[in-house]
Amino acid sequence: MSERRYFGTDGIRGLVGHYPITPEFVMKLGYAAGKVLAAQGTKKVLIGKDTRISGYMFESALEAGFSAAGVDIGLLGPMPTPGIAYLTKTFRAEAGIVISASHNPYYDNGIKFFSQDGQKLSDEIEIAIEAELDKEMGCVDSFSLGKATRIADAAGRYIEFCKSNFSSSHSLSHLKIVVDCANGATYHIAPDVFRELGATVIELASSPNGTNINDGCGATSMDMISKAVVENQADLGIALDGDGDRLMMVDHTGYVIDGDEVVYIIARNEISTDNLRGGVVGTLMSNMGLELALAELGVPFARSKVGDRYVMEMLLEKGWHLGAENSGHIINLNHTSTGDGIVAALNVLTAVCQSGKTLHELRQGMKKLPQILVNVRFTGDSDPLTAEAVLASVDKVNEILKGRGRVLLRKSGTEPLIRVMVEGPELKEVTSLANEIADAVKLAC
């Protein structure tokens, strides 16, 4: 299989105005994708975006490219990534396109695609689109140009879908919930979902201005919501990222509950209701504490490469339905076709209602091992991961841990970073060891 040049683990992403995240490239990408994805069938795609200011520019560029390829476009406006995946299926579109850089700052942006079944594109299709990009952009005749229409009720449709994943026999009327929308695509959706299910909702970061997405808020910045939950004496907090596919939570004490703990809570509740099929998929970054806690429940656990697309691939391969990344991507194929922060939160709230326990009590069954992650920025063509000094440092740490923990080095799929992770029984020890390896990586960059 050919190597992908533009597509990473989560579409094409980069700094706005720098190749390939330019209006010219994105227009040509729309044309190339139109030729590959929608050459037959409905000849219709959906385009949605998060709230960053460049989304309007790239929406217009994609619209022009798809129109030139003879493909009709349904414009969804600001919508969470999983909402676009859902609507792609319900509208029977050939593809859904998301303009978003997820948890990244506003000055980044990206393009990712969903297929007809609401799942991310296969490597083969992404490579076919890249091959089409190498060709000269054309244009169909005027009669065959694609038409664009605004889908005015997109948000309402998705709100009703989210609510359908919470049993009508339960109510959230006894809960006060803080909801942090990261000034992103869920700002006009998430608060309404939980409010319409009965909860008292306190909104945070729900006033996007184009540049404040993920800025000190959301699933990647938990200090604000932790403080708000305690100050407002709320029962729990729900933090989403800029495009709504990640979930982090906070219990009433302000303790942050990450993706590993979220998927553990969901899995244990599904066992109690006889709804868990097979095991749980995590990633190389999943905490060893999750693996140990699931083993106590008799639940198989498997690790995929880092990236929700790889979690999905392993779920489909094994015939399981529940998987997660510790960063908050939760995939539950009993409910959705992709990671969905709002639906994952509703899965947890289902466990709260069915068990009669607080979120704080539900997380007690899993004990995380200290896990330190150090990010080292790199540039150039060198590969620090193959440097002798780095390899020697890793060997030294593995010898020190002697099976008591794990070491993982990997390149980020979305940013120019080397991620150094060390996990073990003692926080002070793993912090020192992670910094030791990170120093070796810095010298090799």
Asked whether residue 2 carries a pLDDT value surpassing 60, the answer given is: no
Instruction: State the alpha helices, DSSP H only, in 117-217.
Output: 123-133, 154-164, 190-196
* pLDDT given at position 5: 86
> Can 102 be counted among the known catalytic residues?
yes
Mean pLDDT of 67-83: 97
What count of other Cβ atoms lies within 10 Å of the Cβ of residue 346?
26
Asked whether residue 289 carries a pLDDT value surpassing 50, the answer given is: yes
Asked whether residue 417 carries a pLDDT value surpassing 80, the answer given is: yes
Query: Which of the following is catalytic: 67, 102, 206, 337?
Result: 102
Separation between Cα atoms, residue 386 and residue 394, nearest integer Å: 11
* pLDDT given at position 310: 93
Secondary structure (DSSP) of 262-302: HHHHHHHHHHHTT---S-EEEETTS-HHHHHHHHHTT--EE
The closest alpha carbon to 154, from 95, 244, 208, 87, belongs to 87
Quick one: pLDDT band at residue 380, thresholds 50, 70, 90? Answer: low
Query: Starting at the edge strand that comes first in sequence, how are the strands of the sheet with 200-204 ordered?
Result: 200-204, 176-180, 236-240, 247-251, 256-257
The closest alpha carbon to 29, from 124, 134, 100, 142, belongs to 134
Given the candidates 3.40.50.450, 3.40.50.970, 3.30.310.50, 3.60.10.10, the CATH classification of the domain at 371-444 is: 3.30.310.50
Mean pLDDT of 261-275: 97
Query: Residue 340 in 3-state DSSP?
Result: coil
* pLDDT given at position 1: 46
Tokens encoding 236: 């729990």
Do residues 229 and 177 touch, judged by C-beta distance below 8 A? Answer: no
Which has more confidence, 377 or 186?
186
Q: Cα torsion for 194, 198, 199, 200, to the nearest 10°?
A: 120
Give 130-174 pLDDT, tens digit per residue: 999 999 999 999 999 999 999 999 999 999 999 999 999 999 999
- Where do you find CATH 3.30.310.50 in the chain? 371-444
Asked whether residue 40 carries a pLDDT value surpassing 70, the answer given is: no
Quick one: pLDDT band at residue 119, thresholds 50, 70, 90? Answer: confident
Separation between Cα atoms, residue 322 and residue 278, nearest integer Å: 9
Q: Is the torsion defined by CA of 244, 246, 250, 251 positive or negative?
A: positive
Fold of 172-255: Alpha-D-Glucose-1,6-Bisphosphate; Chain A, domain 3 (3.40.120)
How much is the mean pLDDT over the chain? Answer: 94
Which CATH architecture is the domain 12-152 placed in? Answer: 3-Layer(aba) Sandwich (3.40)
Mean pLDDT of 326-354: 97
Least confident of 236-240, 321-325, 408-412: 408-412
CATH class label, 258-368:
alpha beta
